[in-house]
Amino acid sequence: MSVNRSNVRLSIKSIEDLTICINVASLLELAGWPKPGNVHRTQDFQDTKFEHFLAGIAAIQPSFKSLCEKIYQSSYNNDEDYKSIGLGLFYKRAAKEMMKWQGGGNVLLGHILILVPLIAAATLCLKQNKLKFKDFKRFVLKVIDESTVEDTLNLYEAIRICNPGGLGKIEKYDINNDNSIREIRTDKINLKKIFELFKEYDLLSSEYSTGFSIILDEGLPYFINTFNQFNNLNITTVNTYLKLLSEHLDTLIIRKSGREAAFYVTKKAMIILEHGGISSEKGLELTFKLDAELQEKKGNLNPGATADLLAGIIFCALIFGLRI
């Protein structure tokens, strides 16, 4: 796969191809090992285990397929047509299915939030036969810009369904404040506006507010370069995770344990990458040590936001031609 995104085109040919990429992206993110601080194939949390993630991934696939089919079957003659995509309704439906089929709590809300605009954009590319990287990026911006107040309200309901840990409290439009729904309606806050307000608080919100700049402009080129260098998906996955972690403080860690703790983890990731990441014996040894250290904190030093961005990067690599 080429690193020159100006020459890259979607390699998928159908909704079936697209839904396979969705499923595989989440599975490969989960399979990356050892991603320090995460649940992975040799590490569970006390109440959330590897198999909970597997069950959650399987449970949300029908919702993803339904969304893709809905978008593909609709017409897009003007901006108003994009408002009917219904990102927020999808968040809510997928959250319900994810929670219904496993008992490990919120395992995939971050995947759901990160993947949906990318999936919608890929479907629009197929629908309109506009397959270049620049078309994909334009559609990502479009579906966020044209989101509605109802999308935001459904987002809040999805968050409440999942009851994720580490949300904290914010001054305005707080998820735990009963007045937030009324204020969102009154102030006409769509997804673009709500995520813009939260961009300093949350990496996922930052991605929505910047057109997925970390995933598309930083993470994806690094992922492709690393895969081309090593032809090893696990090295690529874990080193990309470490790369993201070395350059962006994980906001889940900040909310649970503070900025100093997040900076400490970032510094450790930088040191590992200086030794070549897990492609070197020393880098792999340091990665195992960091994983053991973070796991001792029982999820409070889990770089969960970074893992969610990684799922988005893998999805984009797949739709643009990566094969393992």
Q: How far, in Å, CA of 183 to CA of 160, rounded?
A: 17
Q: Is the pLDDT of residue 280 over 90?
A: yes
pLDDT digits (tens, 9 = 90+) for 41-93: 999 999 999 999 999 999 999 999 999 999 999 999 998 999 999 999 999 99
pLDDT digits (tens, 9 = 90+) for 209-220: 999 999 999 999
Alpha helices by DSSP H, the chain: 15-31, 50-73, 79-82, 87-100, 109-128, 133-145, 149-162, 180-187, 191-197, 203-209, 213, 220-230, 233-247, 251-257, 259-274, 281-295, 304-319
Report the sign of the C-alpha dihedral through residues 76, 319, 33, 199, in that order.
negative
pLDDT in the model for residue 7 = 77
Q: Would you list the domain boundaries of the chain?
A: 5-231+310-319
pLDDT digits (tens, 9 = 90+) for 295-319: 999 989 999 999 999 999 999 999 9
pLDDT in the model for residue 166 = 55
Relative orientation angle of helices 15-31 and 233-247, to the nearest 10 degrees: 70
pLDDT class for 167, splitting at 50, 70, 90? low
pLDDT digits (tens, 9 = 90+) for 99-134: 999 999 999 999 999 999 999 999 999 999 999 999
174 Cβ contact partners less than 8 Å away, ≥ 6 residues apart: 180
